[in-house]
Amino acid sequence: MDFCQVAIFVLSIAAGMLVTFKQDDIRRWGYVVGLASEPFWFWSAYDAGQWGIFGVCVMWTIVWAVGVWNHFK
């Protein structure tokens, strides 16, 4: 397993777990971690030529960015 796949696994699971917390001061970091996972998702989709997944990455980047905006402004 290469570094990109490990980063996707660790960061995506961590983001999913963090956004489930009831405490806002913990939950908001899930959006940051999710946003940090996106470059690895983009690279993996691009490298594999999976353009549908690449499009999903665009949408998830927007979702994570809106979460960061809403929880850190």
Report whether 13 contacts 30 (CB < 8 A): no
- pLDDT at 53 (0 to 100): 97
Q: What is the pLDDT of residues 3-40, one digit of tens each?
A: 999 999 999 999 999 999 999 999 999 999 999 999 99
Q: Which of 20, 52, 48 is nearest to 33 (CA)?
A: 20
Q: What is the pLDDT of residues 40-51, one digit of tens each?
A: 999 999 999 999
**Which DSSP state fits 49?**
T
Residue 20 neighbours by CB under 8 Å, 6+ apart = 27, 30
Residue in the block written with tokens 């960015």: 65
